[in-house]
């Protein structure tokens, strides 16, 4: 028997007792198990469960569909003409959403669509219980996506001493003072004519290769 | 003893044989789970999964009973019963209270030891008859282990019987006095360790070692026959725990032992069973050479020292 084995044999009794103590301590501590189907898990508000659609905010701009890495968002819309609100005014056109579907069998939950939406029409919801037995049922249409809106939690509070949200900062900004008319009207001094640029030397093949290699 | 009395006693032993192992099994489920930071079974039966083992039994009964083509059919099929029935016999000889024992034989300590040794034969038969290399390896390991640990076990029991001056288990309890806890302590340790090895439970589960031998001698078994092996294991825990309580903890001795003596016996046995479960959770499996080293270089000398100590004590006090 070499020295190493001897030293490990020496410590065998404390190790054995330590094992007993550890298991006994764990046995009297409360367990960490969440009994999931009976007790809903308390997920953090930023959990990526499902994507919810707030249809009123959507302008069918297609940014989400174009940014989606999986191409799993399908949007159909048509234009409607709104008659002028005042006499002799111009008729306006607006997009009306016909179909907005997300195929969750393709979605990889990257959240780019939510990030990219300029109108706050898409939100993360922590709801995750929408497994299906048929993969085709994972294509959620706009009604089903709209239904998820109820489960969207309010946004978490800002951290202490963080910057004001952009909306609040914009609202609090003092109104612009109207410009003085005289200053605006004053004609500028004419600029000095620019000297023509000397044309660059054409790049040699070696220089062009440089950064690539 | 009338026929009716024989029937009543047999039924009582059979009922105990079917209930106590399940109780120990359920305790193991829950205690082990909590020791590992889990909850264990929670659904079967409604309240904290109390019916889990009943559900398991129903599942086992539904499964197909397969005998491998190359197996030695007869031996393969009777092996589970050879493993199971001896523990039934051993349980019948364990005294619960003064005068309360199913079969009061003069040398019941000897009977219990002999019966439990036969139980190990079932494992060997199962491994040999399975025609499976893992089963065979497991059976050989099992045989080597049982041969090594039988000796310290017998010596430890012999020491207790020598101290009591009788081979009758109820006589051992009558002769027991609290200072045995100190006097017979080495023997008690030897008995507990050797009983663990005899039961082939962790940390002595080298023959079964599911990480390397699939399930050892039980590899080829399915359905009810497999369930019988499991039942035999838990019945073995019950038998050895009660035997430990009877030999070293004074069995039914305690307050009001004329009325509730059986409660003391069962309670002491249950504490030992929990200890067996605790060891399983806390300790890793021992290697084959460590097993043999422990049996021959630690337990056997300790058992012999205990025997000498008991002999000196008996001679000095009489």
Beta pairing partners, A79: A95
- Cβ of B37 within 8 Å of Cβ of A16? The answer is no
CA distance A38 to chain B (A): 11
- Tell me the C-alpha distance between B70 and B131, whole Å: 6
- Tell me the C-alpha distance between A165 and B5, whole Å: 87
* Interface size between A and B, measured as CB pairs under 8 A: 35
CA distance B277 to chain A (A): 11
Query: Each residue of A9-62: pLDDT tens digit?
Result: 555 667 888 888 888 888 888 888 888 888 888 888 788 999 999 999 999 999
End-to-end CA distance of chain B: 37
Can you give the pLDDT at residue A196? 58
Residue to substitute from B202, B271, B277, B282, interface A, most A β-carbons within 10 A:
B282
At A201, is the pLDDT very low, low, confident or very high (cuts 50, 70, 90)? low
- Cβ of B37 within 8 Å of Cβ of A32? The answer is yes
Nearest to B37 among A19, A20, A26 (CB): A26
Can you give the pLDDT at residue A2? 47
- Tell me the C-alpha distance between B187 and A141, whole Å: 75
At A213, is the pLDDT very low, low, confident or very high (cuts 50, 70, 90)? very low
With an 8 Å Cβ cutoff, is B35 touching chain A? Answer: yes
- Which three-class secondary structure state does DSSP give residue A38? coil
pTM > 0.80: no
Candidate from A114-128, A142-156, B249-263 with smallest mean pLDDT: B249-263
- Cβ of A26 within 8 Å of Cβ of B35? The answer is yes
Residue to substitute from A13, A18, A23, A28, interface B, most B β-carbons within 10 A:
A23
- Cβ of B34 within 8 Å of Cβ of A22? The answer is no
- Cβ of B39 within 8 Å of Cβ of A33? The answer is yes
With an 8 Å Cβ cutoff, is B39 touching chain A? Answer: yes
Contact of A75 with A62, CB cutoff 8 Å:
yes
Can you give the pLDDT at residue A75? 93
CA distance B36 to chain A (A): 7
Residue B312 pLDDT > 70, yes or no? yes
CA distance B49 to chain A (A): 13
Can you give the pLDDT at residue A210? 44
- Tell me the C-alpha distance between B100 and B108, whole Å: 14
DSSP state of A70: T
Share of chain B above pLDDT 90, in %: 16
Q: Please name which of A144, A150, A2, A123 lies closest in space to residue A52, comparing C-alpha atoms.
A: A123
Buried (b) or exposed (e) across A77-88, using 16+ Cβ within 10 A? beeeeeeeeeee
Can you give the pLDDT at residue A195? 62
Work out whether strand A73-82 and strand A122-125 pair parallel, antiparallel, or are unpaired.
unpaired
DSSP state of A165: P
Query: Each residue of B94-151: pLDDT tens digit?
Result: 888 887 777 888 888 889 888 888 878 888 888 888 888 888 888 888 888 888 888 9
Phi, psi of A46 (to 5 degrees): -90, 10
Averaged pLDDT, A65-79: 92
Can you give the pLDDT at residue B191? 92
Averaged pLDDT, B195-207: 86
Query: Each residue of B85-102: pLDDT tens digit?
Result: 999 888 888 888 887 777
Q: Please name which of A169, A167, A73 lies closest in space to residue A114, comparing C-alpha atoms.
A: A73
Nearest to A35 among B42, B278, B282 (CB): B42
Q: Give chain B positions within 8 Å (CB) of A1.
A: none
With an 8 Å Cβ cutoff, is B144 touching chain A? Answer: no
Query: Each residue of B153-163: pLDDT tens digit?
Result: 999 999 988 88
Phi, psi of B298 (to 5 degrees): -120, -55
Can you give the pLDDT at residue A207? 45
Q: Give chain B positions within 8 Å (CB) of A16.
A: 282-283
Can you give the pLDDT at residue A67? 92
- Cβ of B282 within 8 Å of Cβ of A32? The answer is no
- Asked whether the ipTM of the predicted complex exceeds the cut of 0.90, the reply is no
Nearest to B282 among A23, A28, A33 (CB): A23
At A182, is the pLDDT very low, low, confident or very high (cuts 50, 70, 90)? low
- Cβ of B282 within 8 Å of Cβ of A33? The answer is no
Query: Each residue of B41-82: pLDDT tens digit?
Result: 888 888 888 888 889 889 998 988 888 888 888 899 899 999
At A212, is the pLDDT very low, low, confident or very high (cuts 50, 70, 90)? very low
Distances in Å between the alpha carbon of B151 and those of B90, B154, B246, B279? 18, 5, 20, 22
Query: Each residue of B220-274: pLDDT tens digit?
Result: 888 888 999 889 889 999 999 999 998 888 888 878 777 888 888 889 999 999 9
With an 8 Å Cβ cutoff, is B287 touching chain A? Answer: no
Please count the other Cβ atoms lying within 10 Å of the Cβ belonging to residue B283: 17
Can you give the pLDDT at residue A209? 47
Averaged pLDDT, B286-313: 88
With an 8 Å Cβ cutoff, is B19 touching chain A? Answer: no
Find the Cα–Cα–Cα–Cα dihedral A113, A119, A121, A126, rounded to 10°.
60
CA distance B183 to chain A (A): 22
Buried (b) or exposed (e) across B104-126, using 16+ Cβ within 10 A? eeeebbbbbbebbbebbbbbbbb
- Tell me the C-alpha distance between B242 and A8, whole Å: 35
Nearest to A27 among B31, B42, B283 (CB): B31
- Cβ of B281 within 8 Å of Cβ of A35? The answer is no
């Amino acid at each position: 028997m070499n020295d190493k084995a001897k030293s490990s044999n020496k410590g065998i009794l404390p190790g054995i007792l330590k094992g007993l103590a550890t298991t006994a301590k764990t046995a009297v501590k409360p367990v960490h198990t969440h009994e999931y189907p009976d007790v809903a898990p308390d997920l953090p508000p930023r959990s990526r469960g499902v994507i919810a659609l707030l249809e009123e905010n959507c302008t069918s701009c297609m940014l989400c569909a174009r940014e989606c890495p999986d191409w799993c968002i399908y949007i159909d819309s048509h234009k409607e003409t709104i008659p002028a609100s005042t006499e002799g005014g111009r008729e306006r056109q607006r997009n009306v959403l016909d179909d907005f579907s997300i195929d969750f069998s393709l979605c990889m939950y990257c959240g780019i669509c939510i990030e990219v939406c300029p109108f706050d029409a898409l939100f993360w919801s922590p709801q995750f219980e929408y497994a299906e037995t048929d993969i085709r049922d994972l294509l959620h249409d706009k009604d089903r996506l709209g239904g998820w809106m109820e489960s969207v939690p309010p946004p978490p509070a800002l951290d202490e001493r963080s910057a004001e949200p952009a909306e609040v900062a914009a609202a609090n900004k003092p109104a612009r003072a109207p410009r003085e008319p005289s200053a605006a009207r004053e004609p500028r001094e004419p600029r000095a004519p620019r000297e023509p640029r000397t044309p660059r030397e054409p790049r040699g093949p070696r220089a062009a290769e440089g950064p690539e290699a | 003893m009338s026929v009716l009395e024989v029937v009543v006693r047999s039924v009582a032993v059979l009922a105990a044989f079917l209930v106590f192992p399940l109780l120990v099994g359920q305790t193991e489920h829950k205690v082990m789970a909590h020791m590992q930071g889990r909850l264990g079974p929670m659904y079967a039966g409604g309240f904290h999964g109390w019916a889990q083992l009943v559900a398991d039994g129903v599942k086992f009964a539904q499964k197909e009973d397969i005998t491998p083509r190359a197996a030695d059919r007869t031996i393969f099929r009777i092996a589970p019963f050879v493993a199971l029935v001896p523990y039934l016999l051993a349980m019948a000889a364990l005294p619960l209270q003064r005068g309360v024992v199913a079969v009061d034989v003069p040398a019941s300590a000897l009977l219990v030891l002999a019966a439990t040794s036969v139980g190990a034969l079932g494992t060997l038969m199962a491994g040999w008859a399975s025609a499976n290399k893992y089963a065979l390896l497991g059976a050989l390991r099992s045989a080597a282990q049982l041969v090594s640990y039988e000796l310290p076990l017998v010596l430890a029991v012999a020491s207790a019987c020598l101290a009591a001056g009788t081979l009758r288990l109820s006589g051992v309890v009558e002769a027991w006095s609290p200072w045995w806890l100190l006097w017979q302590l080495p023997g008690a340790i030897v008995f507990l360790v050797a009983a663990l090895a005899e039961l082939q439970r962790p940390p002595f589960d080298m023959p079964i070692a599911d990480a390397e031998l699939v399930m050892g001698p039980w590899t080829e078994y399915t359905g009810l026959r497999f369930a019988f092996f499991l039942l035999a294991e838990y019945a073995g825990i019950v038998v050895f725990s009660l035997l430990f309580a009877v030999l070293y903890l004074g069995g039914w001795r305690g307050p009001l032992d004329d009325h509730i003596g059986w409660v003391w016996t069962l309670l002491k046995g249950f504490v030992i069973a929990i200890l067996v479960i605790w060891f399983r959770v806390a300790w890793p499996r021992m290697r084959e050479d460590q097993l043999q080293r422990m049996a021959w270089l630690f337990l056997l000398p300790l058992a012999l020292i205990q025997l000498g100590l008991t002999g000196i004590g008996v001679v000095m006090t009489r």
